[in-house]
A and B are shown apart, each in its own frame.
Chain A
């Protein structure tokens, strides 16, 4: 208990500032409707009535409802005007939503000025929440937290730039466009975390880029040799480009973070071992590298596996509830995520030998340099 008290005694100002910041952000987004072009209204009263039941041949039965809503426009020229409209929803809420008093919604109207709800306003919730989480991170991580915040922002900004770059270049190949993205983020992230001048940073950068390249090459060869058998590109969601380049680009981005994580852990340990015992044998270094690698493989694989697969859970449940078999549900919803997981896992494992090789290469040259100076 004493430890917690001491901690808050030291940092209570930061926590107070964070709470104030979150409150200010929330207030700003609750009242900034005038900054938007699309009409936004606030729901002032809601009356909900049952309209019956809806059922399907698979044994699903849900209650359906109709809401009569009164709203007040918050922007556009008709600001302050009261608008009445209706909203239908059902218990499961797949594409519709139960509205509540006090919510802000985007409205749209047809040519007869019949208004309807287009979308619920989401940014007034997630922006303050994001501020809260990033604030907690920055405070708990101290000086390191600020660098983390900087790299997060920089990586997201780079990502957005490259998305626009891909649109700007006509007939661009998404995967090729994201190769410089991979190089730049790796450089910035590792450089900011460990300094651009240290040899350790460059060893890790080399490891990450080489590992990603080898991993994608291996998977490309497997895809080609087996003629994409069992790869269901047609079930990928939101495909606008060539699905196979999209898949490769996604896999490249996904594997980067995990490989950076493992390469950092392993290389940092190898460097510190060599610093402590300058004439340590290669055999011992290799053994240490394999040991550290082995400890993190499993956990890292599962990090990516859960991120890639868990988000498909609602769709998978929907498929099963529609009387589809498990194999069809797997094929349509989970197989692409599983492929991504497996390729990333191969990358994570390959980080160990490639990292050891890069370490050897970088330190071998430094030893030679030292020899030259003497």
Chain B
């Protein structure tokens, strides 16, 4: 038995014991997302149009992640709408930024891993960089969208007499707290990823000017910023769409 399988078994038992049906859903969603990501990688390597693979694959990942929380229909549909909007907005930010930054591909620090590989592949690395950057943000977007949507719907149920602007106001406060902790989660995720690289930079005695201009540092900072932007944008769009939906249903 390998370590991966053992850890997966432990996780499965814990999730079912503690989370019950929802825990099972969470466990299954992780593997479905892994499968979707593997499909995305395979299809892109088969030279399918990366844009469509990314949009469809990204959409599936968002849907799986949001459904896995087992929220009710209102919450799910609100969270899905918002996360799709934010994903498309982010893509509109990521594409020009990646093209201007020229930070895709590899740099000298990767040379060990690249040994013996033929680098001239048919898929441009600029495109692969965009795919990687967008996919990394999706989990955080979905999580924030579900949490805020669920909070808003709960507020609406708890206070049936409150008018819409009161709910929106309370939702804003709640949403800001959710975004605060979500940004934190994202930050530590990226710091963990960045740990080995930062040790390498210090061991090689890079100056700050050199570190700030390496491809690897640049793409790490940009990825972190895309994720933070994604999480932050979830709140205004959730409030806006919630407002729109409930105003219409009130008439």
B171 close to A (CB within 8 Å): no
Interface of B is mostly: helix
Are the C-beta atoms of B41 and A94 separated by less than 8 Å? no
A219 close to B (CB within 8 Å): yes
Q: How distant is the Cα of A266 from the Cα of B167 in the complex, in angstroms?
A: 22
In the complex, chain A residues 311-334 whose Cβ is within 8 Å of any chain B Cβ: 311-322, 326
Are the C-beta atoms of B100 and A125 separated by less than 8 Å? yes
A274 close to B (CB within 8 Å): no
Answer whether A238 and B120 are a contact pair too, CB < 8 Å, given A297-B19, A299-B68, A302-B29.
Answer: no
A93 close to B (CB within 8 Å): yes
A19 close to B (CB within 8 Å): no
In the complex, chain B residues whose CB is within 8 Å of the CB of A189: 184
Q: How distant is the Cα of A136 from the Cα of B217 in the complex, in angstroms?
A: 22
Answer whether A106 and B213 are a contact pair too, CB < 8 Å, given A152-B187, A254-B192.
Answer: yes
B198 close to A (CB within 8 Å): yes
B136 close to A (CB within 8 Å): yes
In the complex, chain A residues whose CB is within 8 Å of the CB of B120: 54-56, 60-62, 64, 90-92, 94
A304 close to B (CB within 8 Å): yes
A352 close to B (CB within 8 Å): yes
CB distance from B20 to the nearest CB of A (A): 7
In the complex, chain B residues whose CB is within 8 Å of the CB of A56: 118, 120
A36 close to B (CB within 8 Å): yes
B25 close to A (CB within 8 Å): yes
> Contact partner of A290 among B1, B5, B20, CB < 8 A?
B20
Interface size class of A (residues with CB under 8 A): 35 or more
Are the C-beta atoms of A261 and B184 separated by less than 8 Å? yes
Q: Per-residue 0/1 for A33-63: is the Cβ within 8 Å of any B Cβ (1 yes, 0 no)?
A: 0001110000000000000001111101110
Are the C-beta atoms of A37 and B139 separated by less than 8 Å? no
Are the C-beta atoms of A303 and B186 separated by less than 8 Å? yes
Q: Kindly report which residue of chain A lies nearest to residue B126, judged by CB atoms.
A: A93
> Contact partner of B68 among A185, A298, A319, A342, CB < 8 A?
A298
Answer whether A159 and B213 are a contact pair too, CB < 8 Å, given A167-B203, A345-B30.
Answer: no
Are the C-beta atoms of B23 and A148 separated by less than 8 Å? no
In the complex, chain A residues whose CB is within 8 Å of the CB of B4: 230, 335, 338-339, 342
B152 close to A (CB within 8 Å): no
Stretch from A65-73, A115-123, A195-203, A366-374 that touches the partner: A115-123
Are the C-beta atoms of B188 and A164 separated by less than 8 Å? no
A217 close to B (CB within 8 Å): no
In the complex, chain A residues whose CB is within 8 Å of the CB of B15: 297, 345, 349
In the complex, chain B residues whose CB is within 8 Å of the CB of A206: none
In the complex, chain B residues whose CB is within 8 Å of the CB of A163: 195, 198-199, 202
Stretch from A79-87, A239-247, A277-285, A357-365 that touches the partner: A239-247
A222 close to B (CB within 8 Å): yes
Q: Kindly report which residue of chain B lies nearest to residue A268, judged by CB atoms.
A: B177
B7 close to A (CB within 8 Å): yes
In the complex, chain B residues whose CB is within 8 Å of the CB of A17: none
In the complex, chain A residues whose CB is within 8 Å of the CB of B29: 298, 301-302
Answer whether A317 and B65 are a contact pair too, CB < 8 Å, given A250-B192, A258-B188, A349-B15.
Answer: no
In the complex, chain A residues whose CB is within 8 Å of the CB of B100: 125
In the complex, chain B residues 98-114 whose Cβ is within 8 Å of any chain A Cβ: 100-110, 113-114
Q: Kindly report which residue of chain B lies nearest to residue A323, judged by CB atoms.
A: B118
In the complex, chain B residues whose CB is within 8 Å of the CB of A312: 132
Are the C-beta atoms of B103 and A122 separated by less than 8 Å? yes
In the complex, chain B residues 199-241 whose Cβ is within 8 Å of any chain A Cβ: 199-200, 202-203, 207, 209-210, 212-215, 217-218, 221-223, 225, 227-229, 232-233, 235-236, 239-240
Max count, chain B CB within 10 A of own CB: residue among A64, A92, A174:
A92
Are the C-beta atoms of A92 and B123 separated by less than 8 Å? yes
In the complex, chain A residues whose CB is within 8 Å of the CB of B105: 93-97, 314
A310 close to B (CB within 8 Å): yes
In the complex, chain A residues whose CB is within 8 Å of the CB of B109: 238
B51 close to A (CB within 8 Å): no
Are the C-beta atoms of B232 and A141 separated by less than 8 Å? yes
> Contact partner of A310 among B69, B132, B192, CB < 8 A?
B132
Are the C-beta atoms of B188 and A238 separated by less than 8 Å? no
A288 close to B (CB within 8 Å): no
CB distance from B184 to the nearest CB of A (A): 5
B38 close to A (CB within 8 Å): yes
Answer whether A317 and B185 are a contact pair too, CB < 8 Å, given A141-B180, A144-B176.
Answer: no
B84 close to A (CB within 8 Å): no
In the complex, chain A residues 254-268 whose Cβ is within 8 Å of any chain B Cβ: 254-258, 260-261, 264-265
Max count, chain A CB within 10 A of own CB: residue among B18, B69, B200, B202:
B18
Max count, chain B CB within 10 A of own CB: residue among A94, A155, A258:
A94
Besides A94-B125, A297-B19, A319-B117, 7 other CB < 8 A contacts?
A: A60-B118, A253-B191, A257-B187, A258-B188, A261-B182, A306-B137, A311-B193
The 5 A-B residue pairs with the shortest CB-CB distance in the complex, in nearest-first order:
A230-B2, A257-B188, A298-B26, A254-B192, A294-B22
B-to-A contact residues, CB < 8 Å: 1-8, 10-11, 14-15, 18-20, 22-23, 25-26, 29-30, 33-34, 37-38, 40-42, 44-45, 61, 64-66, 68-71, 97, 100-110, 113-114, 117-126, 128-129, 131-133, 135-140, 142-143, 146-147, 150, 168, 176-177, 179-193, 195-200, 202-203, 207, 209-210, 212-215, 217-218, 221-223, 225, 227-229, 232-233, 235-236, 239-240, 243
